[in-house]
Structure 1
Protein backbone atom coordinates (compact mmCIF):
# COMPACT_ATOMS: atom_id res chain seq x y z
CA UNK A 1 0.00 0.00 0.00
CA UNK A 2 1.35 3.41 -1.00
CA UNK A 3 0.98 6.02 1.70
CA UNK A 4 0.71 9.72 0.96
CA UNK A 5 1.19 11.76 4.11
CA UNK A 6 -0.19 15.26 4.51
CA UNK A 7 2.12 18.13 5.38
CA UNK A 8 -0.27 19.17 8.15
CA UNK A 9 -2.78 17.00 10.02
CA UNK A 10 -5.52 18.95 11.79
CA UNK A 11 -7.50 17.20 14.52
CA UNK A 12 -10.76 18.18 16.07
CA UNK A 13 -10.82 17.38 19.80
CA UNK A 14 -14.26 16.34 21.06
CA UNK A 15 -15.41 12.96 19.76
CA UNK A 16 -12.35 12.81 17.50
CA UNK A 17 -9.52 12.22 19.97
CA UNK A 18 -11.56 11.78 23.16
CA UNK A 19 -15.19 10.71 23.71
CA UNK A 20 -16.57 13.79 25.44
CA UNK A 21 -17.14 17.53 25.14
CA UNK A 22 -14.38 19.31 27.05
CA UNK A 23 -16.40 22.49 27.43
CA UNK A 24 -19.61 20.98 28.83
CA UNK A 25 -18.73 17.63 30.41
CA UNK A 26 -15.45 18.33 32.24
CA UNK A 27 -15.14 20.29 35.48
CA UNK A 28 -11.76 21.55 36.63
CA UNK A 29 -9.53 20.59 38.21
CA UNK A 30 -8.62 17.42 36.35
CA UNK A 31 -5.97 14.88 37.17
CA UNK A 32 -4.28 12.14 35.19
CA UNK A 33 -4.22 8.55 36.43
CA UNK A 34 -1.02 7.11 34.92
CA UNK A 35 -1.84 3.53 35.91
CA UNK A 36 -5.22 3.53 34.17
CA UNK A 37 -4.31 6.12 31.51
CA UNK A 38 -7.34 8.29 32.02
CA UNK A 39 -8.32 11.75 33.20
CA UNK A 40 -10.55 12.30 36.17
CA UNK A 41 -12.41 15.57 36.63
CA UNK A 42 -13.47 17.07 39.97
CA UNK A 43 -16.77 15.12 39.91
CA UNK A 44 -15.13 11.79 39.13
CA UNK A 45 -15.95 11.81 35.41
CA UNK A 46 -13.43 9.58 33.61
CA UNK A 47 -12.08 10.31 30.11
CA UNK A 48 -9.72 8.20 28.03
CA UNK A 49 -8.29 8.92 24.61
CA UNK A 50 -9.82 6.93 21.79
CA UNK A 51 -7.69 3.78 21.43
CA UNK A 52 -5.79 4.62 18.21
CA UNK A 53 -4.99 8.29 18.83
CA UNK A 54 -1.45 7.80 20.12
CA UNK A 55 -0.62 5.30 17.37
CA UNK A 56 -1.82 7.75 14.70
CA UNK A 57 0.05 10.69 16.29
CA UNK A 58 3.24 8.62 16.59
CA UNK A 59 3.09 7.63 12.93
CA UNK A 60 2.44 11.20 11.80
CA UNK A 61 5.32 12.50 13.90
CA UNK A 62 7.66 9.76 12.64
CA UNK A 63 6.84 10.84 9.08
CA UNK A 64 7.46 14.54 9.62
CA UNK A 65 3.82 15.66 9.60
CA UNK A 66 2.92 18.78 11.56
CA UNK A 67 0.06 17.98 13.96
CA UNK A 68 -2.32 20.74 15.05
CA UNK A 69 -5.74 20.92 16.68
CA UNK A 70 -8.85 22.94 15.82
CA UNK A 71 -11.95 22.97 17.99
CA UNK A 72 -15.09 25.01 18.59
CA UNK A 73 -14.63 24.58 22.33
CA UNK A 74 -15.93 27.31 24.64
CA UNK A 75 -13.43 26.25 27.30
CA UNK A 76 -9.94 26.41 25.80
CA UNK A 77 -8.34 26.25 29.25
CA UNK A 78 -9.93 22.84 29.86
CA UNK A 79 -8.98 21.55 26.39
CA UNK A 80 -5.39 22.76 26.90
CA UNK A 81 -5.20 21.06 30.29
CA UNK A 82 -6.60 17.82 28.84
CA UNK A 83 -4.06 17.85 25.99
CA UNK A 84 -1.24 18.48 28.46
CA UNK A 85 -2.36 15.84 30.95
CA UNK A 86 -2.71 13.25 28.19
CA UNK A 87 0.86 14.10 27.11
CA UNK A 88 -0.19 15.22 23.64
CA UNK A 89 1.83 18.42 23.82
CA UNK A 90 4.85 16.58 22.45
CA UNK A 91 2.91 15.99 19.21
CA UNK A 92 0.78 19.12 18.79
CA UNK A 93 2.58 22.12 17.27
CA UNK A 94 -0.24 24.63 17.71
CA UNK A 95 -3.97 24.94 18.19
CA UNK A 96 -6.83 27.22 17.16
CA UNK A 97 -9.98 27.08 19.22
CA UNK A 98 -13.14 29.10 19.53
CA UNK A 99 -16.64 29.55 18.21
CA UNK A 100 -16.04 29.80 14.48
CA UNK A 101 -15.61 27.59 11.46
CA UNK A 102 -12.84 25.08 10.94
CA UNK A 103 -11.96 27.02 7.79
CA UNK A 104 -11.17 30.01 10.01
CA UNK A 105 -9.23 27.85 12.42
CA UNK A 106 -7.14 26.36 9.62
CA UNK A 107 -6.44 29.73 8.01
CA UNK A 108 -5.21 31.06 11.38
CA UNK A 109 -3.12 27.93 11.96
CA UNK A 110 -1.43 28.48 8.61
CA UNK A 111 -0.61 32.07 9.63
CA UNK A 112 0.80 30.86 12.96
CA UNK A 113 2.98 28.38 11.08
CA UNK A 114 4.22 31.12 8.74
CA UNK A 115 2.25 30.26 5.58
CA UNK A 116 0.36 32.87 3.56
CA UNK A 117 -2.16 30.28 2.32
CA UNK A 118 -2.55 26.56 1.76
CA UNK A 119 -1.16 26.58 -1.80
CA UNK A 120 1.17 23.66 -2.30
CA UNK A 121 0.43 22.14 1.09
CA UNK A 122 -1.39 18.88 1.63
CA UNK A 123 -3.61 19.40 4.67
CA UNK A 124 -6.06 16.95 6.22
CA UNK A 125 -8.77 17.65 8.79
CA UNK A 126 -9.83 14.66 10.89
CA UNK A 127 -13.26 15.44 12.34
CA UNK A 128 -16.51 13.80 13.43
CA UNK A 129 -18.81 16.62 12.25
CA UNK A 130 -19.95 16.45 8.64
CA UNK A 131 -20.59 20.20 8.52
CA UNK A 132 -16.83 20.72 8.56
CA UNK A 133 -16.43 19.19 5.11
CA UNK A 134 -16.60 22.78 3.87
CA UNK A 135 -12.82 22.91 4.43
CA UNK A 136 -12.59 21.25 1.02
CA UNK A 137 -13.38 24.68 -0.48
CA UNK A 138 -9.98 25.90 0.78
CA UNK A 139 -8.11 22.84 -0.50
CA UNK A 140 -8.13 20.79 2.71
CA UNK A 141 -8.91 17.07 2.69
CA UNK A 142 -11.77 16.19 5.04
CA UNK A 143 -11.61 12.83 6.81
CA UNK A 144 -15.03 12.13 8.32
CA UNK A 145 -14.94 10.04 11.49
CA UNK A 146 -17.54 8.10 13.45
CA UNK A 147 -18.02 10.03 16.72
CA UNK A 148 -18.51 6.80 18.68
CA UNK A 149 -14.96 5.62 17.94
CA UNK A 150 -13.07 8.80 16.96
CA UNK A 151 -9.99 8.55 14.80
CA UNK A 152 -9.13 4.90 14.13
CA UNK A 153 -6.04 3.34 12.66
CA UNK A 154 -8.14 2.04 9.75
CA UNK A 155 -9.61 5.48 8.97
CA UNK A 156 -6.09 6.86 9.05
CA UNK A 157 -4.69 4.16 6.73
CA UNK A 158 -7.65 4.60 4.38
CA UNK A 159 -6.89 8.31 4.19
CA UNK A 160 -3.17 7.77 3.58
CA UNK A 161 -3.91 5.29 0.78
CA UNK A 162 -6.42 7.65 -0.87
CA UNK A 163 -9.55 5.62 -0.03
CA UNK A 164 -11.01 8.20 2.35
CA UNK A 165 -11.09 11.94 1.65
Structure 2
Protein backbone atom coordinates (compact mmCIF):
# COMPACT_ATOMS: atom_id res chain seq x y z
CA UNK A 1 0.00 0.00 0.00
CA UNK A 2 1.61 3.29 -1.07
CA UNK A 3 2.13 5.74 1.76
CA UNK A 4 1.42 9.45 1.89
CA UNK A 5 4.41 10.99 3.57
CA UNK A 6 3.80 13.84 5.97
CA UNK A 7 5.39 17.21 5.27
CA UNK A 8 6.45 17.44 8.90
CA UNK A 9 9.81 15.84 9.48
CA UNK A 10 9.84 12.83 11.74
CA UNK A 11 6.10 12.22 11.57
CA UNK A 12 4.58 8.86 10.73
CA UNK A 13 3.34 8.65 7.11
CA UNK A 14 -0.38 8.12 6.59
CA UNK A 15 -2.24 6.38 3.80
CA UNK A 16 -2.37 8.25 0.51
CA UNK A 17 -5.44 10.36 -0.04
CA UNK A 18 -7.53 9.23 -2.98
CA UNK A 19 -10.05 11.09 -5.09
CA UNK A 20 -12.62 9.97 -7.60
CA UNK A 21 -11.45 9.81 -11.20
CA UNK A 22 -13.72 10.56 -14.12
CA UNK A 23 -14.49 7.88 -16.65
CA UNK A 24 -12.94 7.66 -20.07
CA UNK A 25 -14.94 10.67 -21.38
CA UNK A 26 -13.20 14.04 -21.29
CA UNK A 27 -14.14 16.56 -18.59
CA UNK A 28 -16.57 19.25 -19.76
CA UNK A 29 -14.08 22.10 -19.33
CA UNK A 30 -11.85 20.47 -21.97
CA UNK A 31 -14.65 20.12 -24.52
CA UNK A 32 -16.85 23.20 -23.96
CA UNK A 33 -15.15 25.20 -26.71
CA UNK A 34 -13.91 27.91 -24.35
CA UNK A 35 -10.23 28.93 -24.35
CA UNK A 36 -7.70 26.89 -22.37
CA UNK A 37 -4.25 27.83 -21.07
CA UNK A 38 -1.54 27.19 -23.65
CA UNK A 39 0.65 25.66 -20.97
CA UNK A 40 -0.26 23.72 -17.83
CA UNK A 41 2.66 23.70 -15.36
CA UNK A 42 2.90 21.45 -12.32
CA UNK A 43 5.09 21.39 -9.26
CA UNK A 44 6.12 17.84 -8.27
CA UNK A 45 6.32 17.42 -4.47
CA UNK A 46 2.90 17.36 -2.78
CA UNK A 47 1.36 18.46 -6.08
CA UNK A 48 1.74 15.49 -8.43
CA UNK A 49 2.93 13.04 -5.79
CA UNK A 50 2.55 12.89 -1.97
CA UNK A 51 6.18 13.15 -0.88
CA UNK A 52 9.32 15.26 -1.08
CA UNK A 53 11.62 13.47 -3.48
CA UNK A 54 14.75 15.00 -1.93
CA UNK A 55 13.99 14.04 1.69
CA UNK A 56 11.55 11.11 1.67
CA UNK A 57 13.13 9.00 -1.08
CA UNK A 58 16.36 7.08 -0.43
CA UNK A 59 18.07 6.07 -3.69
CA UNK A 60 18.50 3.92 -5.56
CA UNK A 61 14.91 3.52 -6.72
CA UNK A 62 13.42 0.78 -8.87
CA UNK A 63 10.12 -0.09 -10.47
CA UNK A 64 7.62 -2.15 -8.49
CA UNK A 65 7.14 -5.47 -10.35
CA UNK A 66 3.64 -5.89 -11.74
CA UNK A 67 1.72 -7.81 -14.38
CA UNK A 68 1.25 -4.67 -16.44
CA UNK A 69 3.11 -1.37 -16.59
CA UNK A 70 4.86 0.34 -13.69
CA UNK A 71 2.70 2.65 -11.59
CA UNK A 72 4.88 2.70 -8.47
CA UNK A 73 8.53 2.69 -7.43
CA UNK A 74 10.37 1.61 -4.29
CA UNK A 75 13.51 3.01 -2.73
CA UNK A 76 16.38 1.40 -0.80
CA UNK A 77 14.35 1.29 2.42
CA UNK A 78 11.40 -0.46 0.76
CA UNK A 79 9.04 2.54 0.84
CA UNK A 80 6.64 2.79 -2.09
CA UNK A 81 6.01 5.93 -4.11
CA UNK A 82 3.44 6.84 -6.75
CA UNK A 83 1.32 9.73 -8.07
CA UNK A 84 -1.85 11.03 -6.45
CA UNK A 85 -4.71 8.92 -7.77
CA UNK A 86 -6.10 11.33 -10.40
CA UNK A 87 -2.70 12.39 -11.73
CA UNK A 88 -2.04 9.58 -14.27
CA UNK A 89 -5.38 10.22 -15.99
CA UNK A 90 -4.84 13.98 -15.87
CA UNK A 91 -1.34 13.85 -17.38
CA UNK A 92 -2.35 11.41 -20.11
CA UNK A 93 -5.43 13.44 -21.02
CA UNK A 94 -3.77 16.87 -21.03
CA UNK A 95 -0.78 15.63 -23.02
CA UNK A 96 -3.18 14.20 -25.63
CA UNK A 97 -5.00 17.51 -26.05
CA UNK A 98 -3.57 19.41 -29.01
CA UNK A 99 -4.61 22.76 -27.53
CA UNK A 100 -2.30 22.51 -24.53
CA UNK A 101 1.21 21.62 -23.43
CA UNK A 102 2.31 20.29 -20.05
CA UNK A 103 5.43 21.26 -18.11
CA UNK A 104 7.08 20.89 -14.70
CA UNK A 105 8.45 23.54 -12.32
CA UNK A 106 10.05 21.90 -9.30
CA UNK A 107 12.39 23.53 -6.78
CA UNK A 108 14.06 20.35 -5.52
CA UNK A 109 17.57 19.65 -4.32
CA UNK A 110 17.45 16.22 -5.96
CA UNK A 111 16.71 17.00 -9.63
CA UNK A 112 18.24 13.78 -10.94
CA UNK A 113 16.14 11.71 -8.54
CA UNK A 114 13.01 13.59 -9.57
CA UNK A 115 13.68 12.86 -13.22
CA UNK A 116 14.44 9.22 -12.43
CA UNK A 117 11.08 8.90 -10.67
CA UNK A 118 9.33 10.32 -13.74
CA UNK A 119 11.18 7.80 -15.91
CA UNK A 120 10.11 4.83 -13.78
CA UNK A 121 6.44 5.75 -13.36
CA UNK A 122 4.27 4.91 -16.36
CA UNK A 123 0.89 6.39 -17.20
CA UNK A 124 -1.78 4.56 -19.16
CA UNK A 125 -4.82 5.90 -21.01
CA UNK A 126 -8.06 5.95 -19.01
CA UNK A 127 -10.19 2.87 -19.56
CA UNK A 128 -7.30 1.03 -21.24
CA UNK A 129 -5.38 -0.15 -18.20
CA UNK A 130 -4.46 -3.69 -17.22
CA UNK A 131 -6.40 -5.51 -19.97
CA UNK A 132 -4.02 -8.44 -20.23
CA UNK A 133 -4.16 -10.48 -23.39
CA UNK A 134 -5.36 -7.54 -25.50
CA UNK A 135 -2.82 -5.99 -27.81
CA UNK A 136 -2.89 -2.19 -27.69
CA UNK A 137 -2.13 0.09 -30.58
CA UNK A 138 0.79 2.47 -30.14
CA UNK A 139 -1.75 5.24 -29.61
CA UNK A 140 -3.05 3.61 -26.44
CA UNK A 141 0.13 2.14 -25.01
CA UNK A 142 1.27 3.29 -21.56
CA UNK A 143 3.94 5.99 -21.61
CA UNK A 144 6.66 7.09 -19.25
CA UNK A 145 5.44 10.05 -17.24
CA UNK A 146 8.63 11.84 -18.26
CA UNK A 147 7.58 11.71 -21.92
CA UNK A 148 4.25 13.43 -21.31
CA UNK A 149 5.78 16.79 -20.40
CA UNK A 150 6.05 18.26 -23.88
CA UNK A 151 6.29 21.75 -22.40
CA UNK A 152 9.61 20.96 -20.73
CA UNK A 153 11.05 20.23 -17.30
CA UNK A 154 12.49 22.88 -14.99
CA UNK A 155 13.70 20.79 -12.04
CA UNK A 156 16.41 22.46 -9.94
CA UNK A 157 16.73 24.47 -6.69
CA UNK A 158 15.84 27.95 -7.86
CA UNK A 159 12.91 30.35 -7.74
CA UNK A 160 9.65 29.51 -9.48
CA UNK A 161 10.00 32.88 -11.21
CA UNK A 162 13.06 31.53 -13.01
CA UNK A 163 11.19 28.32 -13.83
CA UNK A 164 8.32 30.27 -15.41
CA UNK A 165 10.67 32.48 -17.39
CA UNK A 166 12.40 29.43 -18.85
CA UNK A 167 9.13 27.61 -19.64
CA UNK A 168 7.55 30.65 -21.29
CA UNK A 169 10.62 31.20 -23.46
CA UNK A 170 10.91 27.53 -24.43
CA UNK A 171 7.26 27.27 -25.45
CA UNK A 172 6.90 30.72 -26.96
CA UNK A 173 3.88 31.58 -24.83
CA UNK A 174 2.86 34.64 -22.84
CA UNK A 175 2.87 34.39 -19.07
CA UNK A 176 -0.86 35.15 -19.18
CA UNK A 177 -1.36 31.86 -21.05
CA UNK A 178 0.25 29.74 -18.29
CA UNK A 179 -1.73 27.99 -15.54
CA UNK A 180 0.51 26.82 -12.70
CA UNK A 181 -0.42 24.32 -9.96
CA UNK A 182 1.59 24.32 -6.73
CA UNK A 183 1.08 23.46 -3.05
CA UNK A 184 3.03 26.39 -1.58
CA UNK A 185 1.45 29.82 -1.31
CA UNK A 186 4.85 31.54 -1.46
CA UNK A 187 5.01 30.61 -5.13
CA UNK A 188 2.20 33.05 -5.86
CA UNK A 189 5.06 35.42 -6.62
CA UNK A 190 4.92 33.93 -10.13
CA UNK A 191 1.73 35.93 -10.61
CA UNK A 192 3.80 39.12 -10.76
CA UNK A 193 4.77 37.88 -14.23
CA UNK A 194 1.15 37.40 -15.28
CA UNK A 195 0.98 33.65 -14.61
CA UNK A 196 -2.18 32.29 -12.99
CA UNK A 197 -1.26 30.09 -10.02
CA UNK A 198 -3.79 27.70 -8.47
CA UNK A 199 -2.94 26.59 -4.93
CA UNK A 200 -3.60 22.89 -4.25
CA UNK A 201 -3.91 21.68 -0.67
CA UNK A 202 -3.89 17.90 -1.03
CA UNK A 203 -2.46 17.12 -4.43
CA UNK A 204 -3.73 17.63 -7.95
CA UNK A 205 -7.14 16.15 -8.73
CA UNK A 206 -9.62 16.66 -11.54
CA UNK A 207 -11.54 19.09 -9.33
CA UNK A 208 -8.37 21.15 -8.76
CA UNK A 209 -7.71 21.24 -12.51
CA UNK A 210 -11.27 22.37 -13.17
CA UNK A 211 -11.06 25.08 -10.50
CA UNK A 212 -7.71 26.26 -11.86
CA UNK A 213 -9.10 26.54 -15.38
CA UNK A 214 -12.14 28.45 -14.06
CA UNK A 215 -9.84 30.90 -12.28
CA UNK A 216 -7.67 31.34 -15.38
CA UNK A 217 -10.77 32.03 -17.50
CA UNK A 218 -12.28 34.36 -14.91
CA UNK A 219 -9.18 36.55 -14.93
CA UNK A 220 -9.62 36.94 -18.67
CA UNK A 221 -13.32 37.71 -18.53
CA UNK A 222 -14.25 34.34 -20.05
CA UNK A 223 -17.56 32.92 -18.87
Question: After superposition, where does 1:85-96 map in structure 2 within 5 Å?
Answer: 85-86=120-121, 87-93=144-150, 94-96=152-154
In 2 relative to 1, CA 161–27 (structure 1 residues): closer, same or farther, beyond 3 Å?
A: same
Q: 1:66 corresponds to which residue? A: 101
Aligned-pair Cα RMSD in Å:
2.1
Q: CA deviation at 1:18?
A: 0.6
Distance, in Å, in 1 between the alignment partners of 2:49 and 2:119 is 13
When normalised by structure 1's length, the TM-score is: 0.87
Query: 1:125-147 CA deviation, whole Å, 9 max, x = no partner?
Result: 1100011111111111101101x
- The answer to whether 1:129 aligns with 2:184 is yes
Structure 2, unpaired ranges of 5+: 1-27, 122-143
The alignment covers a number of residue pairs equal to: 160
Match of 1:14?
45
Separation in structure 1 between the aligned mates of residue 65 and residue 177 of structure 2, nearest angstrom: 35
Mean Cα deviation higher: 90-99 or 66-75: 90-99
* Structure with bigger RCO (C-alpha 8 Å, 6+ apart): 1
Shift of 1:34: 4.8
Q: For residue 158 of structure 1, what is the aligned residue in structure 2?
A: 211
Give the distance between the partners of 1:129 and 1:52, measured in 2 at CA: 20
Which of these two proteins has the greater Rg computed from alpha carbons? 2
Instruction: Look up the SS of the partner of 2:45 in the other structure.
Output: coil
Contact 2:95 2:149 in 1 (8 A): no
Structure 1 CA distance for aligned equivalents of residues 215 and 196 of structure 2 = 10
